Chains A and B, each alone.
Chain A
């Protein structure tokens, strides 16, 4: 973690989607609590991983942070400025500093625009005239992300999934933003292509010092790319810690279960470890359990968990957990820590 002040500071962010009854006079009958009071900080040049299962609110959180969705309440400070208070107009200007990369490289690019159009759009929207001309700036960007600049006039459908994701990345870094929210950027890609894109994202971060909020469901990918990781469940952050610490010494039972559920690509290791199998399904985010939201699936839940919502508290340096009974000494019980075999891949 750096000594700088955070580039992004999110406090008590809430995003509820109203549920309305049908008919002409729509009445609000409830709310899907997609994001229910999360707080996080991102420092310049670092990657914060936001993980969780489907429906945990991680993607909504990512979008709300950029105000692509209007937050219900809470505050988002970007370089000291509260994003919630700025006007739409100022927001457009601020978007120069904060960009987004989407999951689906097939539907997030306009099929009728050429690659050149797509990558030069940020310059035109923001009225930026790059030194040396637009064409050469776009060419440089294409080269930077591993695309052939001669393909300037091609359309997205002429590219493979991996290449389309490169187009999306080129567009996002065009104005050299300080923050990029990456929403599941590799989950639609095959493994060999996924690795190419992850490396590209890491290289770009090194070169430009961009901070990432990396939203993903794949814990292995998140560990690979993140400096710090926050685990979400039903709209709340369960645990947040520097990446190494979170994966080796998880304190929240949910994190523990999540980690133990991931099959490891090593047959001996995989077949000789204890696995926590959570029972039941995710409760509905429109009607989350009282108390700790995880209590319905937690094997350690006690009465207190069913009545009192635990707050996110710092247990050790940079390691926060929202649990009444955090785990201890997990290095012994969790078998995913490096073992005696020197299996390296």
Chain B
């Protein structure tokens, strides 16, 4: 219910943001040498002569039921979910998104797994060694990792691992089903450079969460019951300490699924982020609108999933 409401608002905002711009969208549909007649024809064919509200309704209808552009003999069918036609290459936006989405998903999920495993376990270790040299070393390292921008790490790795040391071939994306080895060779560096940044953050978050939780009264109770320290830590502390981490992780993953622009750009991955950047530089309105909508949908869905997870973990939320 809430989700539908938010998505509706979102679609209106995105649509208006990119379609109510003061430039003439029809002018953008063909190149520099474009006759006014072609522009007019395109305007009518794409429905850009209609009032904004009917354009929006058509657009929404396209998403759910598909739509037909033009009239008479010169018609294009665009099946649901139709996000429109790219102004630039005349391709269906839906197809463009469907080709780039998997790349982004592979990138995001791979990095996510790396940083969650790395960040959480390092964070727990640091919390257990609080104040000792191991803790201080980890905290120092995360500060560095956290402050390095992703393009810096990415380029550094490209220069050393690929160019200088020739450990990996130059990244060139293929699907995992086409050539698994090449896929992995291409993805490993982007995964690591994205994961370093997030792992640093999750290490710090996990450490502070664990330290907070370990000073809770119920941890004292768990020890007073005579539970072994391992059980206290794994069963009692971790579950309570992880709740805010779940929230954070859900939103971060969703953010990445919308396109990791810089990483995709550096490593030449044909993902959503690069699609969006390309569309922006070329003023390809339907594609911009569509990528924004997809990215925002991920965030909204993630928010809801996080809420559900939260309720699954914490009974106090569940029963309110």
- Which residues does A use to contact B, with CB under 8 Å? 22-24
Contacts and interface: CB of A to CB of B under 8 A. Distances in A.
A239 B5 CA distance: 52
Contacts of A23: 1-2
5 contacts: A22-B320, A23-B1, A23-B2, A24-B2, A24-B5
Nearest to B5: A24
For the residues of A in contact with B, the DSSP-based class is loop
Interface string B1-30: 110010000000000000000000000000
A144 to B, nearest CB: 40
Interface in B160-212: none
Contacts of B1: 23
A106 to B, nearest CB: 18
A23 B307 CA distance: 13
Q: Would you list the 5 A-B pairs with minimal beta carbon distance, nearest first?
A: A23-B2, A24-B2, A24-B5, A22-B320, A23-B1
Nearest to A23: B2
Contacts of A24: 2, 5
A154 to B, nearest CB: 29
Contacts of B5: 24
A24 B2 CA distance: 8
Contacts of A22: 320
A152 to B, nearest CB: 36
A24 B5 CA distance: 10
Interface string B281-320: 0000000000000000000000000000000000000001
Contacts of B2: 23-24
A22 B320 CA distance: 9
Nearest to B1: A23
A26 to B, nearest CB: 13
A24 B320 CA distance: 16
B295 to A, nearest CB: 23
A23 B320 CA distance: 12
A24 B9 CA distance: 13
Contacts of B320: 22
A24 B1 CA distance: 10
Interface string B33-74: 000000000000000000000000000000000000000000
Interface string B226-266: 00000000000000000000000000000000000000000
A174 to B, nearest CB: 39
A22 B1 CA distance: 12
Interface in B138-160: none
B49 to A, nearest CB: 36
Nearest to B6: A24
B9 to A, nearest CB: 11
Nearest to A22: B320
B273 to A, nearest CB: 32
A23 B2 CA distance: 7
A22 B317 CA distance: 12
A22 B2 CA distance: 11
B36 to A, nearest CB: 47
A23 B5 CA distance: 11
A128 B320 CA distance: 48
A320 B5 CA distance: 56
A182 to B, nearest CB: 30
B72 to A, nearest CB: 45
A47 to B, nearest CB: 36
A23 B4 CA distance: 13
A122 B5 CA distance: 48
A88 to B, nearest CB: 34
B318 to A, nearest CB: 13
B81 to A, nearest CB: 26
A237 B26 CA distance: 75
A14 B79 CA distance: 62
Nearest to B320: A22
A23 B1 CA distance: 9
A21 to B, nearest CB: 11
A293 B1 CA distance: 40
B88 to A, nearest CB: 39
A272 B5 CA distance: 67
